[in-house]
Amino acid sequence: MKQVKVGIIGFGTVGAGVAECLLKNGELLAARTGVKPVLAAVADLDITTDRGVALPAGVLTQEVNRVLEDPAIEIVVELVGGTTVAKEFILRALRAGKAVVTANKALLAKFGGELFAAAEKGGADLYYEASVGGGIPIIKALREGLAANRFHAIIGILNGTCNYILTRMEQEGAPFAEVLKAAQAAGYAEANPALDVDGIDTAHKATILASLAFGEWFRLEQMHVEGIREVALQDIQYAATLGYRIKLLAIIREAGGQVQLRVHPALIPARSLLGTVDGVFNAVLVNGEPVGTTLYYGRGAGRDATASAVVADILDVGRNLAGGSRRRIPAFRHHRAFQDVLPASEIRSRYYLRFQVQDRPGVLALIAGVFGQHSISIASVTQKEAAAPSVPIVILTHEAREADMQAALAELRGFEEVTEKPVLLRIEELP
C-alpha cells in the first residue's frame, strides 16, 4: 500500500479538522482507496492553543520549513488563508514538485494564473475542492462527474453567513443589522463581515466555478457584485406573500456564447429546491446539456465539512502519486467555451420593485407610464390600503433589460410622488 506523507500549514479550525479526520478515519481511508495518508507535520506559529486534536508527538511545529523542505512530504495542505504568506508557501511547495491542497478561494480568485503556472512548471498537482461549497464536491462535479456537458447555468447559494442571516431575518421578522449582530455573537459571522455580506466571498467562489465551466480564469472585476446589506425585512416579507424567498445567489449563465457573471440577492420560488436551502447550508444548481438540471447541497463551511473536502483532495492526489499519474487533472485547463462576458447592463431579468409613493391618484399611472416608455412590462402590482401619507407599491415585471430598468428608475426618482429611493431586486428564473 502506497503511503503518502502529508504536511499541513495552518493549525486553525480547518487544520484541526483535517488532522482529526486523517487520524480518526485513516485506516478506513487506506482500506477504501489503497492509499494511506500519513500526517507527518503540522506547522503553525501558535503551537500552544488547544485545538481539541491530539497530534502524535513531534508532528506539531513552528517551523514551516519542516513541511516545505522535507523531501518525504509529498502533499502540502495550505490552510493559512489570506493572499500573502499563503501564496508564498504554495509557490514554494509547487516549485519543489510537491502537490498542494488548499481551501483558499480568495487566493485562487486573485492569483490563480500564477499558481497554475507554478504547478505546471513543477509538474505538481494543485487541488482546491474545499474552496467552494465546503463539503459539497462541486468542483469535482464540474471537472469530472458532469464533464460531458455544455454548461448553461450554475446558480449557487455559496455563502453560509449570508444565507444564515437571510433565513433568520425571515424566521424572526428581524432587520439585517440586528440579525448580523446576533450572528456575530454566535460565531456565524466575522467581526468584520464585509467579505461575506458584501458578496465578495460569494464572488470569489463564483469566479472559480465559472472559470472551470467555461475554460477561462475569470477575474473578480468581471463579475457584477451586490451584497445583502440593503435587503430590507419588508422585502423579505413581501416576497414571502408572493411565493418567493430572497437568497444571495451566484449566477453564472450562458446563452448564445454570452456568459453572465453576477452575484446579487434575488427572489426565487419558495417551493423550489434552492428556495428550501436554509441557514448555513449551501447549494449549487447546475444545468447542462445533456444532463439537464442537477443540484448539490451540503454545509458550505466549518471545520468538518471543509475537512471532508480537503481530505478528499489528499486522497485524489494520493491516488495520482500511487498510480504515477500526477497532473491527471491539471489545476486549470484553458479551453474558452464562450464568446463574451455580457455586460451587466445588457442582462435581462424579471424584477421586483418597491416604491414608496404619495397616496394620491395617478401615481401608479405615472410609474406604469415611465416603465412603458422604457419597454418594461408590468406583471403584477400589490398596493395595500394605508392611512399614511405615503404608501408602498410592490411591482413585479416581466423580463426587461437591466439598462432600461435603471433608466426608468433614474427617471422616476425625479418625481416628487416617489418619496424614497425605489428598491430593486431581481427575480431569478430557475432552470
Q: Which residues bind a second copy (CB under 8 A)?
A: 17, 20-21, 25, 28-29, 31-34, 129, 135-137, 140-141, 144-150, 215, 271-273, 276-277, 288-299, 303-305, 307-312, 314-316, 319-320, 323-325, 327-330, 333, 335, 337
How far is residue 296's CA from residue 286's CA, in Å, rounded to a whole number?
8
25, exposed or middle or buried, with CB in 10 Å at 0-12, 13-18, 19+? middle
| Nearer Cβ to a second copy (153/203) | 153
Closest contact distance (angstroms) between CB of 101 and a second copy is 12
CB 136 within 8 A of CB 304: no
CB environment 380-399: b (16+ within 10 A), e (fewer): eeeeeeeeeebbbbbbbbee
> How many C-beta neighbours within 10 Å does residue 54 have?
11
Query: Nearer Cβ to a second copy, position 276 or 406?
Result: 276
For residue 152, what are the contacts with CB-CB under 8 A and spacing of at least 6?
253, 254, 255, 287, 288, 289, 431
- The residues annotated with a catalytic role in the active site are 205
Which residue's CB is nearer to a second copy, number 301 or number 396?
301
Rounded to whole angstroms, how far apart are CA atoms 338 and 315?
A: 33
CA 251/CA 239 separation, integer angstroms: 19
Looking at beta carbons only, is 198 or 278 nearer to a second copy? 278
Least CB distance to a second copy at residue 311 (A): 3
CB of 336 to a second copy, least distance (A): 8
DSSP label at residue 418? B
| Closer residue to a second copy, CB minimum distance, 150 or 413 | 150
Neighbours of 153 (CB within 10 A): 20
